[in-house]
């Protein structure tokens, strides 16, 4: 497939030879990409900031006052050996508490996770679930140890998606992810002045990274591809006016790299691509899921001349949200910290083969308890997933010696 014309300053991406995984790596402590050496890795874990009481919509969506913990606690096993409900090792802490964030930052950076990607929402002409970032992370005393950036989660939300216990079979749309230009201008101002201006906001070549979940709703917001490009150009211009070299626009991709989406990416001036998670379909076998994801990643890498930043996912189990889902909907065979580490090592090798781009690896996720994918310690695995990151990213590891 024909490569896209380059929009960013990065050169073409070399091919990736998939090999049998071994654990062997060295790294240095994380610093800003524009100041980094060749051996620095940026392990960026997504944060789903739902475990607190939201001032705007909390009473309506999660009336018990603890955010989505309300749903997570009600998870129930659907087959023998199914680990539900998920039980956090540190208890049901609220993610808008700076003391909780301080513990998260220490645990993350101690184990090689040095960037948080906050899911960020704009519904009904205002922010939603922003307190985790504003009141938790940005007020943490050790916040300077950790970089962060935003992923605009501009997807639609059906009424029963985030609390099936309250809304039952009501699948009507509660919020649409698309916005109009007036709201987009408010978003641009808010993002630049509140977040890009933070000294620990993650940047590539000095340009703040802003990730977008849905290209479909992005284009729907403005009515056409050309108008969407004009809106993004406005965002770039405002970012430059604020003193930055440019905006680094990152896109989450789900569909295969067909001609239409490649044309959209080129027209919109996207700077890089990554995943939120490995995506569907979700087989029961974790290794199959990861292997299929690598195949899709290689297709995207071949089709693009902008960076594809590899993603590693821990698991998939969203049964707490869906009473009718069963064993066939859960990634559970061969799911372990060891198999996660193997795929993280492959992502690291993918990054090593592309020295012209930052060594950024996205991880699904830090705390997606309700979707069964989290690095935070729980009562089943303890710190084993975080230790897997540390072993691959921060330590020398000899695969021929006993661990």
Q: Which stretches does DSSP call E strand in 30-105?
A: 42-47
Apex 117 CA angle, 133 and 209, nearest 5: 105
**Among 113, 114, 118, 112, CA closest to 96:** 118
**Among 338, 335, 350, 355, CA closest to 389:** 338
Separation between Cα atoms, residue 259 and residue 278, nearest integer Å: 21
Separation between Cα atoms, residue 252 and residue 118, nearest integer Å: 14
**Among 150, 151, 230, 249, CA closest to 196:** 150
**What pLDDT, on a 0 to 100 scale, did the predictor assign at position 194?**
98
Residue 182 has a CB neighbour count (10 Å cut-off) of 9
**What pLDDT, on a 0 to 100 scale, did the predictor assign at position 395?**
86
**What pLDDT, on a 0 to 100 scale, did the predictor assign at position 357?**
95
Mean pLDDT per segment of 10 residues, for the chain of length 403 residues? Answer: 41 33 32 48 98 96 97 98 98 98 98 98 97 98 98 97 96 97 98 98 98 98 98 98 98 95 97 96 97 97 96 98 97 97 96 96 98 98 97 74 50
List residues bridging with 308 in a β-sheet.
273
**What pLDDT, on a 0 to 100 scale, did the predictor assign at position 401?**
53
Q: What is the pTM of this model?
A: 0.90
**What pLDDT, on a 0 to 100 scale, did the predictor assign at position 34?**
46
**What pLDDT, on a 0 to 100 scale, did the predictor assign at position 396?**
64
CATH topology of domain 33-394: TIM Barrel (3.20.20)
């Amino acid at each position: 497939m024909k490569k896209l014309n380059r929009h960013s300053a990065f050169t073409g991406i070399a091919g990736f030879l998939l090999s049998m995984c071994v654990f062997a790596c060295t790294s240095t402590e994380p610093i800003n990409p524009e100041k980094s050496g060749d051996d620095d890795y940026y392990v960026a874990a997504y944060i789903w900031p739902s475990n607190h009481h939201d001032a705007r919509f909390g009473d309506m969506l999660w009336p018990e006052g603890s955010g989505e913990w309300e749903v997570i606690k009600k998870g129930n096993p659907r087959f023998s050996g199914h680990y539900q409900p998920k039980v956090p090792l540190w208890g049901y802490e609220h993610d808008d508490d700076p003391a909780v964030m301080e513990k998260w930052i220490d645990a993350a950076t101690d184990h090689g996770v040095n960037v948080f990607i906050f899911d960020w929402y704009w519904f009904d002409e205002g922010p939603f679930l922003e307190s985790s970032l504003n009141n938790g992370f940005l007020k943490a005393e050790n916040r300077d140890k950790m970089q962060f950036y935003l992923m605009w989660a501009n997807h639609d939300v059906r009424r029963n998606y985030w609390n099936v216990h309250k809304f039952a079979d009501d699948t009507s749309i509660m919020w649409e992810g698309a916005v109009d230009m007036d709201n987009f201008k408010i978003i641009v101002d808010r993002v630049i002045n509140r977040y890009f201006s933070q000294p620990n906001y993650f940047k590539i070549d000095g340009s703040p990274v802003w990730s977008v979940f849905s290209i479909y709703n992005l284009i729907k917001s403005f009515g056409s591809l050309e108008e969407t490009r004009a809106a993004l150009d406005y965002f770039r211009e405002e970012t430059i006016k604020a003193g930055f070299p440019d905006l680094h626009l990152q896109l989450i991709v789900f569909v295969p790299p067909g001609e239409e989406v490649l044309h959209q990416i080129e027209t919109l001036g996207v700077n890089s691509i990554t995943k939120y998670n490995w995506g569907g379909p979700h087989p029961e076998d974790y290794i199959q899921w990861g292997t299929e994801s690598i195949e899709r990643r290689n297709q995207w890498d071949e089709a693009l001349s902008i960076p594809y930043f590899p993603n590693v996912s821990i698991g998939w189990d969203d049964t707490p949200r869906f009473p009718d889902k069963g064993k066939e909907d859960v990634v559970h065979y061969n799911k372990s910290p060891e198999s996660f580490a193997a795929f993280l090592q492959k992502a690291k090798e993918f990054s090593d083969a592309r020295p012209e781009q930052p060594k950024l690896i996205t991880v699904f996720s830090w705390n997606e308890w309700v979707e069964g994918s989290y690095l935070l310690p729980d009562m089943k695995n303890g710190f084993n997933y975080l230790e897997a990151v540390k072993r691959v990213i921060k330590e020398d590891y000899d695969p021929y010696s006993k661990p």
